[in-house]
Amino acid sequence: MVAAVGLKFGSCKGAFVGNERVCVKKFLVTFLTVLLGGAIVAGVGVFNAVQQEAPPVLIANVVGTKTAPSGEEMPHAELYLDVYPNSSAQVPQPETKSPINNVLLAGQPFYHPSTSLQVPSNSLVTIHFRQYDSGGQIYNPYFSKVHGTVDGTMKWNGNKVTEIKPDEVGHTFTVHQYPESTQPYFFMSIPLPMNKANAKTDKMGYPVDPQIVSVTFMTGEAGSYVWNCEFPCGDLYQEFGGPMQTRGWMAGTFDVVDA
């Protein structure tokens, strides 16, 4: 009703517009302005969305079945992830469309081949890590322990461990809750031991025998989660900037989907 009051004026008959032609012209200008504005918003939005699409999804394929601690047979999937201290001719840097990231993240550690992971629901998943990076003291000893695997252990260079020394951590693989109460709570954190400084390296500068870690965990119902590294391996304040806050380097998504 208020709007109607405002509208009473400036009608084509009123003193505010000369004649129909002006009126139509005005309408066209208005129409074009709205159209143009909408086009700009859509354009910028699409451009940016394309600029930053997530890295290609790495899917854990089901490779037969495995016996869960409960004794039941469950589908078993496997995933292979490597952690490199920096890119090289052998391991290309994760691709980013933003030019500044190529500058700022050059020579920073990253997970390879991808950080967008997808695993089947209600099954056992084994992730095999090869860790090529050095390391040191982690902020929170909680993340030098293994959390959320089937028996609370991980296999490190062949032998089962439940934790490693807090000052010998290379990276961690920490999956945590996505803010949705409708999906099962899921928390998993795996410390990846560091390589000693005197480790023998190949010509690329990577250790010849990296730290091999493999963990098996049980997935529940479908859901989306995120993961990131909890070891300060980035730059800037507390070394938690740069790659730590860039998906494709040290953080990513972790989707549990129905097979």
Subset of residues 45 to 84 that bind other proteins, contact rule: CB under 8 A: 45, 48-49, 52, 54
Residue the block writes with tokens 């860790």: 131
Is residue 213 within 8 Å of residue 193, measured between CB atoms? yes
- Least gap, CB of 63 to other proteins (angstroms): 30
131, 216, 247, 256: which one binds other proteins (CB under 8 A): 247
Site for other proteins in 167-186 (CB under 8 A): 174, 176-182, 185
Nearest CA among 224, 117, 208, 134 for reference residue 171: 134
How many Å apart are CA 259 and CA 177, to the nearest integer? 21
Site for other proteins in 151-170 (CB under 8 A): 163, 166
19, 158, 198, 237: which one binds other proteins (CB under 8 A): 237
Is residue 134 within 8 Å of residue 197, measured between CB atoms? yes
76, 93, 216, 230: which one binds other proteins (CB under 8 A): 230
82, 86, 121, 141: which one binds other proteins (CB under 8 A): 141
Cα dihedral 198, 203, 208, 214 sign: positive
- Nearest to other proteins of 101, 211 (CB atom): 101
Per CB under 8 A, 197 contacts other proteins: no
How many Å apart are CA 143 and CA 157, to the nearest integer? 19
Q: What would the DSSP string read from start to end of 195-215? A: PPTT--B-TTS-BSSPEEEEE
Joined together, the tokens standing for residue 124 give 């056992």
Total residues at interface with other proteins (CB under 8 A): 77
- Nearest to other proteins of 90, 140 (CB atom): 140
How many Å apart are CA 129 and CA 212, to the nearest integer? 6
Per CB under 8 A, 103 contacts other proteins: yes
Q: Stretches 34-42, 71-79, 111-119, 208-216: which one binds other proteins (CB under 8 A)?
A: 34-42
